[in-house]
Amino acid sequence: MHDIYSQQSRNRRVTILLMLGFFIFVVLIGISVDVYTYGTLDVKRVPVATVFAVTLAGINGFVSYFYGSSVVLRSLGAETPVFEDLTHKRLHNVVTEMALASGLPMPRIYIINDPAPNAFATGRNPENSVVGVTQGLLDSMSREELQAVVAHEMGHIKSFDILTMTVVTVLVGTVSILSDWAVRTWRYGGIRPRRDVRSKGGVHPLALLVIALFVVISPVISRIIAMAVSRNREYQADASAAEFTRNPLALASALQKIGDATSPLRTARRGTAHLFISDPLKRKLDEKTGLMADVFSTHPPIHERVERLKKMAYVYGKDTSRGI
């Protein structure tokens, strides 16, 4: 099994590097707008777009760290459990069991009222963590399968994946918003080269092409980074779930049920897809292998995860011949 403490330290470092990287991305977008407007960066002029970008990056970095989970929960339409509902009560009991098994504080529990089976975790640290599931997951899983899914999410919490992925969710959205703002303002004439720049022939065409290309592709690059960060974490969380439950086949069975479901999660977006145990958008790319899948998919293929869990079953003395 992996060293959970080394993983926690690594995730903290990755989070800091990601925040720094996205901050640089946002600042470069602002600089690009100023270069287009002024023809160069002149210290005598106030770089309005750069100042705006730095301010936006700082505010969103603060929000993503301290309030990222609230942003995620609102965007997904998640609600607190209703204890008159027996499936919600069962979930509470299972989360309590898995918190004890993992040695973690009890996370807050949220429900997404959607028939698509899925689950996610978010938060800043184990003391401020959230486990969320869909109603579809509660309706379709046995108790053992539900334990395994919750254990997977507890694995994300214990390794501090939740901090990294929550921060990424907010910051990717920031880059996309700022890039979209720059493109729209250029398109509709909100940003034009200054008169003195135009009189000198404007911005060099090659420089303009580089600026435009960077602004357009920056959201794509930031999303690819987010996807790359999330894929390997799923294998690690699967291993943690097997460790907490001593029952890898239960998670394998749960993943197959989730994979067999055809309907996407209605409230999920590309910016939050990497938070879930399986791609909530049901894109075919996530079930493929190869370079394109490695670059653009948010999750490793479910069939590969199931095969790994079957191999783990031998370690825990589970019978894999009976199927799942």
Give the residue numbers annotated as catalytic, written as ranges: 153
Considering just the CA atoms, what is the radius of gyration of the chain in Å?
22
Q: Identify residue 4 by its one-letter amino acid code.
A: I
Q: Residues 39, 44, 48, 50: what is their CA dihedral angle, to the nearest 10 degrees?
A: 80
Closest by alpha carbon to 94, among 161, 151, 24? Answer: 151
Determine how many CB atoms are found less than 10 A away from the CB of residue 145: 24
Cα diameter, the chain:
78
Specify whether the CB–CB gap between 25 and 175 falls below 8 A. yes
How far does CA 130 lie from the centroid of its chain?
14
> What's the distance, Cα to Cα, between the start and end of the chain in Å?
23
Specify whether the CB–CB gap between 187 and 181 falls below 8 A. no
d(Cα 158, Cα 193) in Å, to the nearest integer? 51
Determine how many CB atoms are found less than 10 A away from the CB of residue 180: 13
Tokens 């997404």 correspond to 112
Q: In what order do the strands lie in the sheet with 108-112?
A: 108-112, 129-134, 119-123
Long-range contacts of 100-104 (CB under 8 A, 24+ apart): 101/151, 101/154, 101/244, 101/245, 102/151, 102/154, 102/155, 102/157, 102/158, 102/240, 102/244, 103/158, 104/129, 104/154, 104/157, 104/158
Distances in Å between the Cα of 167 and the Cα atoms of 22, 27, 62, 119 are 10, 17, 9, 18
